[in-house]
Structure 1
Amino acid sequence: MRSGACRSIRWRHCVRYIDRPLQRPLNDAVDYSNRFSTDWGESEPSQLGRMESMTMNDGAGNEIGNEAARVLDPSRLIAHVEAATGLNDWGTPEFRTALDQLCASAIDEADLEGAALAGFAATIERLLTNRLRLYADRAAFPEIATQKIVAPLIVTGLPRGGTTILHGLLAQDPAARSAAKWEVDCPSPPPRAENRANDPRIAISTAAVEAIPAAFRAMHAMGATLPEECNNFFMMAFRSPNFGATANLPSYMRWLIEDADMAPAFEFHRHFLQHLQAFAPAGYWVLKAPPYLWWPEALFAAYPDARVVVTHRDPADVMPSNASLIAYLRGYTGTPDPLAVGKEQVGHWRTGLDRMHRYRSSGAHSEQFIDTYYTDFVSAPMGVVATIYDRFDMTLSNEARDAMTRFLAGNTQGKHGRHDYQAETFGLSRETLHREFGDYIAAYAIPTR
């Protein structure tokens, strides 16, 4: 149901690309300055309905819907990107099914308009552009497709449960390789080992991160050279919960969690890692995404030798924090209902925990899992690391230990500010969450308070 009111929103999209021809050859210097722009603006989003608005005349809802249908027409978006880049090799075609689902949900449910609508379309065009360039690189450099992705170390668990800090910590091992934010923002041409530390894309991505409002950086650690999570790879396959984090897309999220064939997304995931690895080799990959809880079968079908670290934290601490983050992000594109957000997030992540538990209870790949606990990590992070390395018969070198110690010292909790929220705002309480997640808490002996 459309409200008929136009929400005047200045869309903040931290890294936006301007289409330009593919750069060749690989060794040539590339000017990235006109591929990026920052447009977060100076003000914060109108979280939980505190938004600038103006009243429109009757029938405005239909006008908004018609405009969204035009701007987010998948064929139009694809044609525009193909014309702008001169490229048309999309790799496997299954991305179109997901793109159609995403655009239909955004048109019918998200109430996008004005700058928010333009920004959502720009995000899709950026992702389409990156996908085209990646497959153009794959055709130009045959060595990309020959890369082997061996025994990736994958962190998963509830969002806000310590996955980000553990991912960043494990990535400090010199033997490991992770995908830095700048590499995900602008992956083409493939990064090279000899200049990966001073690639010009780092400075541009850093400027983009610094333009992000402090309130968001207090919620989620970001940095151009910090490891990026796999949700952002999956966006280029248009199968990612990141879309639903920034706009109200209930039918898309239902499709993604319940019905989507994730094999094409994991195929793209492998292609993306091969792309990054071809000229900047990896001993092994360190990866992270909470949504792996939803897709254990697809994960092991893609990477049968994966080593999976599952983090655990009291859901009563996790769920309100996650609901607050989602509501904040959706404040850029609409007026989020905090009670609906709380209920939605509890449902999504109960599904993930139940699905992963059923998979593990079957005994599948049982030797390839380890459980870690947030309370243990807070008290002894390097002890948790040692346990992971022991589990998977990995060597924790002195160089790795020193790098991890430096990382911990430079990434203390609250470094970018405090994330304040009230569980009650989202209709949540410790008692109800402990009841909702009781089976999970009991199965994994989760410490609660």
Structure 2
Amino acid sequence: MSKSGDIVIDDLAQPRLTPAIEAARAGPPGFDEEMGVDQILARAVDLTGGLDDFGEETGFRERLGIVLQALAEDRGLTRGGRITIIDHAIRVMANRLRIEHLVKRHPEILDIQIDRPIFIAGLPRSGTTHLVNWLARDERLRSLTLWESEEPVPSGPPPAPGAPDPRALRSAEMWGHFEAMLPHMAAMHGMDAASIHEDNELLYMDVNSYNWEWQARIPRWTDHYFAHDRTISYRYEKKVLQVLTWQRGPNRWLLKSPQHMENLAAIRSVFPDAAMIITHRDPVAVIRSLTTMLSYSDRIRRDPVDPPGLASLWIGRIERLLRACIEQRAAWPADQSADLLFHDYMADQERVMRQVYDLAGLPLTADAERALLAYLNENPRNRHGRVIYDLEGVFGVDTAALRERFAFYYERFPVKWED
């Protein structure tokens, strides 16, 4: 880090590998990284002590098969990178088994109303994480911590009163190890187990989350995802929200994911009384930030890392997301939705706060306002340092050509260009 606090990551193309990163790239010995759908599901059954009901057939088995096929086609993954994805698949399938087991024992869960949820959508790196963690300070809203998103249903007995949840400890240990290997991640997207996280982890359990794409280069999966309706997976997410509400209320949810931006119609179908907040930022700035963050962590997952290939992949992926957003934007009426331009949002966050509360029909009490303003004071922008990005040099991207490619988005949403 420079004396100014600016962070320059100068080894994205040729990363310097520590012993910990080398070990992560190799992965644990004795793990079968080539296992198929049946083996993954069997591992999940074993992990849950023999639970074997995965619930309604929503197509998740087929989707898992497509993920594995696409994964086999990504020859640039390290063994450790491949194992991480397989391990995630086992985890989310075990979560699914626990969800179904709990609902069978307590069918009243499915009668719980999810009351006027507030969804936040927007490009990665467009302020959605800040917005959801900020609004979550209002205790009248139910939000999702990172550790809870990773393990929605406990796998063991509840902790003693006052003791930490074992799920939170597991998450903190895992992400602490990750950030020890990649210390600059905190300045780009810190993974604090207690922070409020994206609900695409819930879609993960229906194998319809774009989380897979963050960890591998799997165009076959992306094409399959866009070729099929995702409404059924948002219905599954609603079931998980009912389970989480049954465990701990209240029942008015605050949710966020960039993935929601390309699923506006599906969300409207499943949650017709919701409020939808969409953040918009210059896609060139988004891609500049996103590719740097992914390339930095690719030193664990990929050999070679290939920053230009990463940029090409994500430019296309962001374009598909934005085109889907524009195509589906009309699904949300003006009295239930708002578009927040990033430069306006950053310039006057208090105004945005009041706009969101008005849209949601939620009174801004004095207690809520104090808590929200305190969050802003505690979390200034770039508090972990400012990362310097080099989209043109490291990633070989022609910025002028990229702006021409995204002209369709600039014409629809007048975001400010960022240098």
Distance 1:411 1:70, change over 3 A: closer
Distance 1:143 1:422, change over 3 A: same
Root mean square deviation of aligned Cα: 2.8
Q: Which residue does the alignment assign to 1:358? A: 327
Listed as ranges, the matches of 1:270-419 within 5 Å are 270-334=238-302, 335-360=304-329, 362=330, 364-419=332-387
Secondary structure class of the residue paired with 2:253 = strand
Could you tell me which runs of 5 or more consecutive residues in structure 2 were left unpaired when the two chains were aligned. Answer: 1-8, 18-29
Could you tell me which runs of 5 or more consecutive residues in structure 1 were left unpaired when the two chains were aligned. Answer: 1-43, 53-66
Identity across matched positions, percent: 26
Opposite residue 36 of structure 2, the aligned amino acid is: D
Q: Are 1:239 and 1:265, in contact at CA under 8 Å, matched by a contact in 2?
A: yes
Q: Which residue does the alignment assign to 1:175? A: 140
Q: Which residue does the alignment assign to 2:111? A: 146
1:15-44, Cα deviation, whole Å (9 max, x unpaired): xxxxxxxxxxxxxxxxxxxxxxxxxxxxx9
CA deviation after TM superposition for structure 1 residue 320, in Å: 1.0
Q: Are 1:72 and 1:107, in contact at CA under 8 Å, matched by a contact in 2?
A: no
Q: Which structure would you say has the larger RCO, counting Cα contacts within 8 Å and 6 or more residues apart?
A: 2
1:90 paired to 2:54 = yes
The 1-side partners of 2:33 and 2:56 are apart by 26
CA deviation after TM superposition for structure 1 residue 364, in Å: 4.8
Secondary structure class of the residue paired with 2:247 = coil
Query: What is the aligned counterpart of 1:124 among 89, 111, 128?
Result: 89
1:80 paired to 2:43 = yes
1:255-284, Cα deviation, whole Å (9 max, x unpaired): 22x213313321221111111100311241
Distance 1:427 1:114, change over 3 A: closer
The 2-side partners of 1:141 and 1:119 are apart by 33
1:230 paired to 2:194 = no
1:158 paired to 2:123 = yes
CA deviation after TM superposition for structure 1 residue 84, in Å: 3.8
1:132-158, Cα deviation, whole Å (9 max, x unpaired): 112112222223222111221111111
Query: What is the aligned counterpart of 2:173 among 207, 215, 222?
Result: 207
Q: Are 2:98 and 2:153, in contact at CA under 8 Å, matched by a contact in 1?
A: yes
CA deviation after TM superposition for structure 1 residue 429, in Å: 4.5
Q: Are 2:264 and 2:331, in contact at CA under 8 Å, matched by a contact in 1?
A: no
Q: Are 2:145 and 2:194, in contact at CA under 8 Å, matched by a contact in 1?
A: yes
Distance 1:421 1:447, change over 3 A: closer
Count of paired positions: 389
Q: Are 1:181 and 1:225, in contact at CA under 8 Å, matched by a contact in 2?
A: yes
The 1-side partners of 2:332 and 2:354 are apart by 24
The 1-side partners of 2:154 and 2:47 are apart by 17
1:74-100, Cα deviation, whole Å (9 max, x unpaired): 111112222342011101222111111
Question: In terms of mean alpha carbon deviation, does 265-274 or 212-221 score higher?
Answer: 212-221
Q: Which residue does the alignment assign to 2:416? A: 447
Opposite residue 420 of structure 1, the aligned amino acid is: I
1:98-129, Cα deviation, whole Å (9 max, x unpaired): 11111111112244453333333222111111
Opposite residue 90 of structure 1, the aligned amino acid is: F
With structure 2 as the length reference, what TM-score do the two structures score? 0.85
